[in-house]
Structure 1
Amino acid sequence: GWKTAYVVTDQFIAYTKSLSKYFVEHYANIGGKILLEDTYTNGDNDFSAQLARLQALEEKPEVIFISSYGSDIAFIIRTLREVGIDSPVVGGDSYDDPALHEALGERFGNDIYYVTHTFMSPEAHPDMPKFLELYRAMYGEDPDTAFVATGWDTIMLLAQATEIAGTTDGDAVARALESNEFNLLTGKLRYKSAEEGHEPDKAAAMVALEGGKPVFLGWRRPKNPPKP
């Protein structure tokens, strides 16, 4: 695995800051070494200072974690690649964005890996074709990201729990949610006990960009993730 990392965090919203926080903590827990943590503000369109600090490192990072969103992810990756920095790039579900994939294109959209909610093909789940058929019937087009499946799964989760409980009684449904695993479009999910705060224990979809096109790598369920 990748033993050293460079981390750059977009400071504009809490999401990108918390994502980097969890990455840094978990990476250290599995024996990784952070060579440098740096920051960026969404919309700056200037990565020269961060680039200089990265290039000044005595050791080249084996992986780069970029926690940002929108067009700024593409801007940072293109900046790195144009000066010959070819370390793999990893990130979160903000990379699940067709506009980002298009902006990176065939030239820059390689050796990039991210986790998201699901992958919109039968590879991810046998019920995906049914979902896509229903989506097309309602909206007249294919969904462009995995985020659309989260709303579907919210309803299906309650439906499955109600079916297991055999009643719509709230306490019974809650017990069903607490004591079962659910196979959803967005991954297998179970909840921890009440004593553990009912933290969700959930699989995530791992996706790679190859030539600017997303490729499903499979489901991953993290072991010992940091506490929220």
Structure 2
Amino acid sequence: GPYVFRNSLPESVAIPAAMKVAVEKYGIKKVAFIYSNNNDFAVSGFKTMKETAKEMGLTHLTEETFADGDVDFSAQLTKIKGLNPDALLVSALYKEGSLIVKKARELGIDVPIIGGNGFNNPQVIEIAGTAAEGLVVATPFSPERKDEKVQNFVKSFEAKYGSKPDQFAAQAYDGLYIIAQSLLKTGKGEDREALREELAKLKDFEGVSGKLSFDEKRNPIGEPVVVTIKDGKFVPFE
């Protein structure tokens, strides 16, 4: 509806960004996909990956599926290994995604792994362990970003919850400040029309998840940061 605003960068922006830098750095030509086929989020991410791969002229070797809650991905990954891809693209929530990454490395699949937004969670490192090293993903938020506002947020979050914030915690935090800022500008706390108009005007809001504006459809305009996991941390991909 006209009163709904979104401050989460869609995978249609994040996934192509991650794929582009990975393809350029690693010379990727052939790719294999694996995704959850009973999860709308993962299916949508897979479709973006598939479309992006086609646009980039990559060879599509196979697309394997699983269901949320699955814990054994040996059959799918064994098939993928036999096809010898240059990269593995995974669209999943973090639990299943982490197990896929772990099993892929156990089976000897040592090519780059590119993930969707479901991998933007510190739990990936906890679950996959060293297998998560080198994972490539795009995110609007990096807890390692050298920015005073970001580091203050990370410290406060860790002090309260005992863990690092993920992308979704950062976006919720920014969302609250976006609404508060817009309410203050209206000077009319009970006028939803005025609030909507102020939100629609948002431009270059500096939050912990980066600079944000809204387009005419109330979707976010922002630039994702491509990161990789190195030494157990999400760091900028170079």
Relative to the length of structure 2, the TM-score reads 0.73
What is the Cα deviation at residue 39 of structure 1? 0.7
* Counterpart selection for 2:169 from 130, 148, 165: 148
Alignment partner of 1:48 is 2:74: yes
Q: Secondary structure at the match of 2:148?
A: coil
User: Structure 1: where are the runs of 5+ without partners?
Assistant: 219-228
Alignment partner of 1:159 is 2:180: yes
* Counterpart selection for 2:150 from 128, 137, 142: 128
What is the Cα deviation at residue 166 of structure 1? 6.6
* Counterpart selection for 1:68 from 84, 88, 92: 92
Q: Which shows bigger deviation, 2-11 or 97-106? A: 97-106
Aligned to 1:224: none
36 and 142 in structure 1: CA distance in 2 versus 1, 3 angstrom threshold: closer
- Higher RCO (Cα < 8 Å, 6 or more apart): 2
What is the Cα deviation at residue 208 of structure 1? 0.9
Greater helix fraction, Structure 1 or Structure 2: 2
Aligned to 1:210: 230
Superimposed CA distance per residue, residues 169-222 of structure 1 (whole angstroms, 9 cap, x where no aligned partner)? 5445434433422222112222222xxx333222223221124x123217xxxx
61 and 164 in structure 1: CA distance in 2 versus 1, 3 angstrom threshold: farther
> Contact (CA 8 Å) 1:117, 1:147: kept in 2 or not?
no
CA RMSD in angstroms, aligned pairs only: 2.7
Amino acid at match of 2:230: E
Aligned to 2:7: none
* Counterpart selection for 2:219 from 199, 202, 207: 199
161 and 28 in structure 1: CA distance in 2 versus 1, 3 angstrom threshold: farther
Aligned mates of 1:151, 1:127 — CA distance in 2: 15
Q: Secondary structure at the match of 2:228?
A: strand
1:1-228 matched pairs, under 5 angstroms: 1=24, 2-57=28-83, 60-106=84-130, 108-123=131-146, 125-135=147-157, 139=160, 141-162=162-183, 170-179=192-201, 180-193=203-216, 197-211=217-231, 213-217=232-236
> Contact (CA 8 Å) 1:11, 1:40: kept in 2 or not?
yes
Q: Secondary structure at the match of 2:126?
A: helix
User: Structure 2: where are the runs of 5+ without partners?
Assistant: 1-23
- Identity of matched residues, %: 23
153 and 144 in structure 1: CA distance in 2 versus 1, 3 angstrom threshold: closer
Superimposed CA distance per residue, residues 95-146 of structure 1 (whole angstroms, 9 cap, x where no aligned partner)? 233333123223x2222112234122442x4312332454456x26453433
Aligned to 1:225: none
Greater strand fraction, Structure 1 or Structure 2: 1
Aligned mates of 1:103, 1:19 — CA distance in 2: 21
92 and 49 in structure 1: CA distance in 2 versus 1, 3 angstrom threshold: same
